[in-house]
Amino acid sequence: MFGGIPVLKQMVEMNLKYSGSPVYGIYALRDPVFFIRDPELIKLVGIREFDHFANHHGMHNNMQESILSKSLISLRDGRWREMRNILTPAFTGSKMRIMYNLIQSCSEEGVSHILELLELSKDAAIDLEVKDYFTRFANDVIATVAFGLTINSFRRKDNEFLRIGQSLSKISAWSVVKAVLHALFPRLMKLLRIQVMDTEKIDYFSRLVHVTMKYRQEHNVIRPDMVHLLMEAKQQRLSDLRDQSKDAQYYSEFTDEDLLAQCLLFFFAGFEIISSSLCFLTHELCLNSAVQDKLYEEILSVHQELNGQPLTYEKLTKMKYLDMVVLESLRKWPPAISTDRECSKDIDLCDENGEKMFSARKGDVLQIPIFAVHRDPENYEDPESFDPERFAEDQKVESRLFLPFGVGPRNCIGNRMALMEIKSIVYQLVLNFKLLPAEKTSRDLLDDIRGHGLKPKDGFWLKVQARQ
């Protein structure tokens, strides 16, 4: 379904077509959908008037029979606020530092794999389809960070965790149809017992988490990963429930099912989003040699400062040009191409001068077309170029114009982890290899990416050459 349509290109063109209008709309079958293209209006919906737009649309109906209905992205209103407050302490900088070594280990395994391929080929460079490569890397990170497993998918090519993960993440025509039908006819789909997600595959991950938690509780095992942080959050919630000194407000229990739901959410967020983001970033580096050379200079300088010691979390987070490169890649190729909000009560949205920009009514669905906002020449000069200097310290990129992880209180809670993961593997790759265009490297990604998957029809190809 929609496999031949360049969806991203159409999104950009539609946004430009209505230049000068803060909002435009389309019909999704029988219901109107409003697209917000004005940055001030995005800020109003996502931040200032958040209480009127606190929920995503459709998530509740699509997933109410699934364990994912308990995940942060699906929860609504007070229960969402409660869960966000429970989870936020697990994603602080200090907690990221705890998990850094797990991610660094996966990055080093990824480098070792390419070195082995180069040695086997006997050539100075090899062509590499990096979507598969980064999917394996992301799989290993999610396995170790969110599920407490050490896998190495570069060696164990057909491991069960990877196989089931790829199956769940695959966007097929039938999966799109099921999601649409659940949104339109939730009662009928429940009656027919047609699930959006494959319950058997979800059960596989459920068993993994339950077995892991049981073993750790029985043997007092502490491992610096997401399972441990979520178990800590669960214990903190139990403590809050027992603490009679707190005020009498209602606290929901953080159950094992709640914990499992967050692990599954991290899986879906980390599996496809991270692998796609890395594909786009390395694609841009291979086509922009000057950027890659400047990045290599910074990475080499840090490597020499380390004097044989492994890269630390502190060093990684202080690399300014690496940060600029990653941010520019996320600007040009945001992992969330769009996000939505559902209006919970009528409101007139006005600009700073009090002029009405849009009247939203209860039940209205507002889409924020992030990909198009990032490609709008009104927001970014020469938006199709890859220019990390946009994010230099002396430049000011407005937060309302840079939305790779969403906007406002409902943005991606795991963005720190995502950035750490991306930077970790990019550091290792650029330190050890030159990334060059291959014969099959796409020269027009925007046109080559069709349908709902963020992948060109012939894949993401690079030529990888070991540095001397």
For 7-466, CATH number out of 3.90.79.10, 3.40.50.300, 3.40.50.720, 1.10.630.10 equals 1.10.630.10
Q: 237 pLDDT exceeds 90?
A: no
In this predicted structure, which of 180-184, 252-256, 272-276, 460-464 has the lowest mean pLDDT? 180-184
Alpha carbons 114 and 105: distance in angstroms, whole number:
15
Q: 296 pLDDT exceeds 60?
A: yes
- Residue pLDDT, tens place only, 97-114: 989 999 999 999 999 999
- Residue pLDDT, tens place only, 388-426: 999 998 887 888 899 999 999 999 999 999 999 999 999
Looking at residue 454, what is its pLDDT?
75
Which conformational region is residue 308 in: left (phi greater than 0), alpha (psi within -120 to 50 degrees), or beta?
A: left
- Residue pLDDT, tens place only, 113-129: 999 999 999 889 999 99
Q: 155 pLDDT exceeds 90?
A: yes
**CA-CA-CA-CA dihedral for 359, 363, 369, 373, to nearest 10:** 30
Q: How confident is the model at residue 2 (pLDDT cuts 50, 70, 90)?
A: very low
- How is the chain split into domains, by residue range? 7-466
Alpha carbons 369 and 24: distance in angstroms, whole number:
11
- Determine phi and psi for 258, rounding to 5 degrees: -60, -45
Q: Which residue has the tokens 């291959």?
A: 438
- Mean pLDDT in residue range 122-151: 93
Exposed e or buried b per residue across 15-39, where buried means at least 16 C-beta atoms within 10 angstroms of its C-beta: beeeeeebbbeeeeeeeebbbbbbb
If one compares 202 and 187, the residue with the highest pLDDT of the two is: 202
Alpha carbons 73 and 62: distance in angstroms, whole number:
12
Alpha helices in 221-319 (DSSP H): 226-242, 256-287, 289-306, 313-317
Looking at residue 187, what is its pLDDT?
65
- Mean pLDDT in residue range 14-36: 89
Looking at residue 67, what is its pLDDT?
77
Looking at residue 63, what is its pLDDT?
47
How far from chain centre, in Å, is Cα 12?
20
Structure tokens at 221: 């095992």
Q: How confident is the model at residue 178 (pLDDT cuts 50, 70, 90)?
A: low
Number of residues that this document lists for the chain: 468
pLDDT averaged over every residue in the chain: 87
- Residue pLDDT, tens place only, 188-218: 666 766 666 667 778 888 888 888 888 888 8
Give all strands (DSSP E) within 300-440, no chain letters. 339-342, 347-350, 356-360, 365-368, 433-437
Q: How confident is the model at residue 232 (pLDDT cuts 50, 70, 90)?
A: confident
Looking at residue 146, what is its pLDDT?
84
Tell me how many degrees the CA angle 278-281-284 measures, rounded to the nearest 5.
Answer: 150
**What letter does residue 396 receive in the DSSP assignment?**
-
Which residues on adjacent β-strands are paired with residue 465?
Answer: 125, 434
If one compares 32 and 300, the residue with the highest pLDDT of the two is: 300
Alpha carbons 16 and 14: distance in angstroms, whole number:
5
Alpha carbons 55 and 38: distance in angstroms, whole number:
20
Query: How do 31-36 and 433-437 pair as beta strands?
Result: unpaired
Q: 248 pLDDT exceeds 50?
A: no
Residues 6+ apart with CB under 8 A from 248: none
